[in-house]
Amino acid sequence: MKNRTTPGAQIAMYAVLIFLAALWLFPIGLAVYKSVQVGGWGNYDAVLTSETFDYWRAIGNSFLMAGSASILIMIVASLAGFAFSKLRFRGRKLLYSLLLGCLAVPIAAVVTPLFFSVNSVGLRDSYLGVIIPLAAFNSLMMLLIMKNHFDSIPDEIIEAASLDGAGLFRTFVRILLPLSGPTLATVGTLSFVYSWNEFLLPNLLLRSAEKFPVTQAISLLEFDRMSLEQISQLYAGLILMTIPSLIVYLVAQRYLQAGVTAGAVKS
Amino acid sequence: MMRRIQPYLFVLPVTLLAGVLIYYAIGFTAWASFTDWNGLTEMNFIGFGNYVELYHDPLFWTALRNTLVFLVATIAIQAALGLLIAVIAKERLRGSSFFKAIFFLPIAMAPAIIATVFKYMLEANYGSINETLRALGVIDQGTVIQWLGADLGVWSIVFINVFQWMGFSMMIYYAALMSIPEELYEAAEIDGAGWWRRLRSITIPSLRGTTSVLIILGIVGALKTFDIVWLTTGGGPGGSTHFLSTLLYEERSNREAGYSSAIGMVILVIAFGLAMVQIKLANREGGKR
């Protein structure tokens, strides 16, 4: 593609980009600076060896909950996405609309029944009690992405397989899943990031600090009347807790971008 | 027989997990909103009592106004900035993918962490933003700007949200821009249309459907917004920066489960209502992407 812009326009465009990028990088740079302002790089060590806050435990908790939720989501969303896209059954359209209608339901609007039901089945303050609603609320967007993906695979593939006498489940596992690698990676990455970033659900359902994921464990670094050194340590802790997200971003940026656009472009 | 029920087995897990849980939660919220439930003891039916109380509660109107201001402001700002950057990025300047990566990065970061960073930066007395402004001489030494106070709090929250999510609008506009046929631009150029003219006559009309999608997602996203409010202003001072979601959460912890459920119903009605209106409007315009 040839470049149609004049040099003057290019300078203006760069000016806009650089100004905005500076605005976006400023908070990040400032956070890094603040984390060493009082107490130096030793703040990072202080956070990692803190007695009130266990960094690796919080990271492990987040990994456990976000990881389990995204595996669960990949399973239920791909199974259902396949059926809604390729199988014909009574009530298919109605059920699909009923499910996708829930996309607009914010967790915040239904915290009372969520708390009550998780509590009454005895799952309050347990990992599973967070994983199930996490998976439930994130699975619908992923169902949409999976169904759109299966829609793009020609029906003939299924017909050919069923002539061979392969069962539906076998067709799904042997023929459709192998064609779905990138989409599954997208769904997995997006579910993982969204689940990792969730704050409301753990805050509602967990009380023991040793089960807190990173989003909730931030509070363990905050105190009343914090000294400047404690504030610097808090910044160090926040940066340390962002590192796993940065790694995911660097490794799976492609899938994250694909997921964000896949969920939005065709709905 | 097996062939008939097999499809249902595929959709059963997601239906049980998400469908049943979420519809149960909606039904429960609807029922509880007509009771005086405190979350622990029995529920007594009190008709529209909670809704009448909501109508007379100034905090509710503040929270509703803040939510709607946030909704309109974030959707408009994120769309405008996102489109601007996407249009520039499409010109394939050197380094534009680097810039895109910067703006997209906050999406991978937890809102809880971003909100906490901003809370300390925006703190009025020793927060970095006021300190920086004082050092640059923009404001006087003794001046204290209450970024998280009653007047500016909502706008600070809008800014934090734009920081977090603008890259989302950018990426979606960028994907849509890349799908506009190149021939359209070439033809326009032969006709002598300048950059601005091409933007107005080709780019923006082609993006109407994308903008609709962003508005729907923005509405849903605004009503879901909780952590960046809860972790910065916490709804304060004096409830002035509450959103519907944070007011609900606070009432729930004050043992007002019935009352908070009524707020939940208001959120659900707005979510479905606005989404429907937007879908209707988009369809009437031809539903073009």
ipTM: 0.90
Task: Find out whether A195 and A66 touch, Cβ atoms under 8 Å.
Answer: yes
Of A36, A43, A65, nearest in space to A244 by CA:
A65
Which pTM was predicted?
Answer: 0.91
pLDDT digits (tens, 9 = 90+) for A85-112: 988 888 999 999 889 888 889 999 999 9
Domain ranges of chain B: 60-284
**For residues A188 and A193, what is the distance between their CA atoms, to the nearest angstrom?**
9
pLDDT along chain B (289 residues), means of 10: 79 93 93 87 85 92 95 95 91 85 92 93 87 87 87 94 94 89 85 82 86 87 93 90 93 86 94 79 55
pLDDT of amino acid A3 = 52
In a domain, A19, yes or no: no
Residues of B in contact with A257 (CB under 8 A): 104, 171
Compare CB distances from A113 to B6, B11, B24 and report the shortest one's residue.
B24
Residues of the domain holding A136: 53-265
Q: State whether B7 and A87 contact (CB < 8 Å).
A: yes
Name the residue with higher pLDDT: B261 or A165. B261
pLDDT band at A254 (very low <50, low <70, confident <90, very high): confident
Selected for mutation to probe chain B from A11, A85, A98, A111 (highest B CB count within 10 Å) is A111
Q: In B, residues 15-44, which contact A (CB 8 Å cutoff)?
A: 15, 17-19, 21-26, 28-29, 32, 39
Tokens 């109407």 correspond to what residue? B208
B60-284: CATH number: 1.10.3720.10
pLDDT of amino acid B2 = 62
Residues of A in contact with B4 (CB under 8 A): 89
Q: What is the mean pLDDT of chain A?
A: 89
Size (chain A), residues: 267
Compare CB distances from B110 to A79, A111, A196 and report the shortest one's residue.
A196
Q: What is the mean pLDDT of chain B?
A: 88
CA dihedral over B264, B266, B268, B270, signed as positive or negative: negative
The CA distance from B241 to the nearest CA of chain A, in Å, is 16
Compare CB distances from B88 to A17, A231, A248 and report the shortest one's residue.
A17
- Look up residue A225 and give its DSSP letter: S
pLDDT digits (tens, 9 = 90+) for A64-76: 999 999 999 999 9
Q: Which of A11-25, A220-234, B175-189 has the highest mean pLDDT?
A: A11-25
State how far the alpha carbon of A125 is from the alpha carbons of A61, A130, B39, B117, in Å: 13, 8, 17, 27
Say if residue A157's pLDDT is above 50. Answer: yes
State how far the alpha carbon of A62 is from the alpha carbons of A130, A198, A220, in Å: 11, 10, 15
In a domain, A258, yes or no: yes
Compare CB distances from A83 to B7, B26, B182 and report the shortest one's residue.
B7
Compare CB distances from A98 to B19, B29, B120 and report the shortest one's residue.
B19
The CA distance from A133 to the nearest CA of chain B, in Å, is 8
Q: In B, residues 46-85, which contact A (CB 8 Å cutoff)?
A: 81, 84-85
- Is B8 touching A (CB cutoff 8 A)? yes
In a domain, A6, yes or no: no
Domain count, chain A: 1
Of B71, B32, B288, nearest in space to B176 by CA:
B288
Name the residue with higher pLDDT: A170 or B70. B70
Q: State whether A110 and B264 contact (CB < 8 Å).
A: yes
Say if residue A215's pLDDT is above 60. Answer: yes
Say if residue A1's pLDDT is above 60. Answer: no
Q: State whether A256 and B213 contact (CB < 8 Å).
A: no
Q: Which of A37-41, A78-82, A225-229 has the highest mean pLDDT?
A: A78-82
Strand partners, B45: B35
In a domain, A34, yes or no: no
pLDDT of amino acid A267 = 41
**For residues B219 and B157, what is the distance between their CA atoms, to the nearest angstrom?**
16
pLDDT of amino acid B118 = 94
ω before B205 within 30° of 0 (cis)? no
CATH number for A146? 1.10.3720.10
> Three-class SS of residue B224?
helix
